[in-house]
Amino acid sequence: MNIGRLDKQDLRTLWKKEATEFTPWLAQEENIKLLSDAIGIDLEVQSQEESIGAFRADILCKDTFSGNYVLIENQLERTDHTHLGQLITYASGLEAVIIIWIAQNFTDEHRAALDWLNSITDDTFTFFGIEIEIYKIGNSLPAPMFNIVSKPNDWSKQVKKTVAGTTATGTKLLQQEYWQGLKEFMENNKSFVKMRNPSPQSYSDLSIGKSSIYLSATVNSKHKSINIWLNIMGENAKKNYDKLYQTSYENSLIDINKNLVWDRMEGRIMSSVILKREADYTDKNDWANQFGWFKENLEKFIKYFKPLMAEI
């Protein structure tokens, strides 16, 4: 059996200049998705060469789930002190909470600097160091690869947050354990659904690729139910809901579930599409069944609704 060999390419053979070639390439929807997949955050490009005082940041994005700003700074060579300083300056100017530094190579000092920044900040700020590589196999098209060399330690940040706040109750700890179990279930069963890091609360939100619209997996001990919500938020909630309803209601009952509930929520600045199932999340013996239900239906929600987000 013949096997191809990965041939690493010089970045400059593909992009001669950062500002006029690499940055516009990365800002394209299909390419920013590659970066999104690497870090597990859905990114929506807001602007390129964003002015911040006397400086200009390479790419400004939003995390489509939280709506927080994401700042991206690019280098087609080894990291240097100038770009590290720019990152901190830009972040303070934008109040960005996610900062991504992309370079060909990271020095040990700059990797350590990002690790230190992640260690001394709470979960309000997140720093990623990403090395980009280009490979070919024979005469194939060049393919980019994003490698994470520095990322936040989510567990230590969660510990800091818990210590800084009130002590979690037994119910809250059980909820956090539940979402951790669901996250591990999704990963172990190769689901394309990316669960967020678990928090001690009755819901776990997921991005669907559009600001102000997101999914929520929820548990309710009072009504003994587990639920999936497509939440349509903001001043355009009714307009977006009506558009989705007109084009997608009938097929959603076929492609997702016949028991799907579309609720315009009159008088509120949100609308929702909801699927519910009777289940007691406090019964650990039933968790495997509940996780299976969430996996099946979250995948259906995302497959059905995510392509429609581009039309809203």
The pair of three-digit structure tokens given for residue 261, joined into one six-digit string: 């509930």
Give the pLDDT band (50/70/90) at residue 207.
confident
Beta bridge pairs of residue 60: 47, 71
- Report the pLDDT value the prediction gives residue 289, as an integer from 0 to 100: 97
Query: Which tokens belong to 79?
Result: 């990291």
For the cut 70, the answer to whether the pLDDT of residue 35 exceeds it is yes
Token code pair at residue 244: 């989705």
Q: What is the pLDDT of residue 54?
A: 60
The answer to whether 256 and 297 have CB atoms below 8 angstroms apart is yes
The crossing angle, in degrees rounded to 10, of helices 237-255 and 287-305 is: 120
Query: pLDDT digits over 262-281, tens only?
Result: 999 998 889 999 999 999 99
Residue 154's contacts (CB-CB under 8 Å, 6 or more residues apart) are 123, 197
Residue-level pLDDT at 62: 85
Give the domain ranges of the chain.
Answer: 6-157, 167-311
Give the pLDDT of residue 154.
Answer: 61
Lowest mean pLDDT among 65-74, 80-89, 103-112, 297-306: 65-74
Is residue 159 very low, low, confident or very high in pLDDT (cuts 50, 70, 90)? Answer: very low
Q: What is the mean pLDDT of residues 87-103?
A: 82
* Res. 39 pLDDT band, cuts 50 70 90: confident
What secondary structure, in 3-state letters, does the chain show?
A: CCCCCEEEECHHHHCCCHHHHHHHHHHCHHHHHHHHHHHCCCEEEEEEEEEECCEEEEEEEEECCCCCEEEEEECCCECCHHHHHHHHHHHHHHCCCEEEEEECECCHHHHHHHHHHHHHCCCCCEEEEEEEEEEEECCCCCEEEEEEEECCCHHHHHHHHHHHCCCCCHHHHHHHHHHHHHHHHHHHCCCCCCCCCCCCCCEEEEEEEECCEEEEEEEECCCCEEEEEEEEECCCHHHHHHHHHHHHHHHHHHHCCCCCEEECCCCCCEEEEEEEEECCCCCHHHHHHHHHHHHHHHHHHHHHHHHHHHHC
Lowest mean pLDDT among 2-6, 12-16, 131-135, 210-214: 2-6
Rounded mean pLDDT, 55-82: 86
Which candidate, 165, 169, 199, places its Cα nearest to that of 182?
199
CATH 3.30.1460 for the 167-311 domain, yes or no? yes
Using alpha carbons, select from 78, 305, 119 the residue that is nearest to residue 207: 305
Percent of the chain at pLDDT > 70 equals: 92
pLDDT of residue 91: 76
Provide the CB-side half-sphere exposure for 123 (13 A, CA): 16
- Cα 224 to Cα 41, 216, 279, 282, 290, distances in angstroms: 31, 17, 5, 9, 12
What is the pLDDT confidence band of residue 162, given thresholds at 50, 70 and 90? very low
**Is residue 160 scored above 60 in pLDDT?**
no
Q: Cα–Cα distance between 39 and 31 in angstroms, integer?
A: 13
Angle at 65 between CA 156 and CA 155, to 5 degrees: 10
Q: Quick one: pLDDT band at residue 156, thresholds 50, 70, 90?
A: very low
Residue that wins the pLDDT comparison between 3 and 131? 131
pLDDT at 165: 47
Q: Mean pLDDT over all residues of the chain?
A: 88
Res. 166: pLDDT tops 60: no
Distance CA 154, CA 18 (A): 31
- We find that the CATH architecture of domain 6-157 is 3-Layer(aba) Sandwich (3.40)
Q: Decide if pLDDT at 163 tops 50.
A: no
Looking at residue 304, its pLDDT comes to: 97
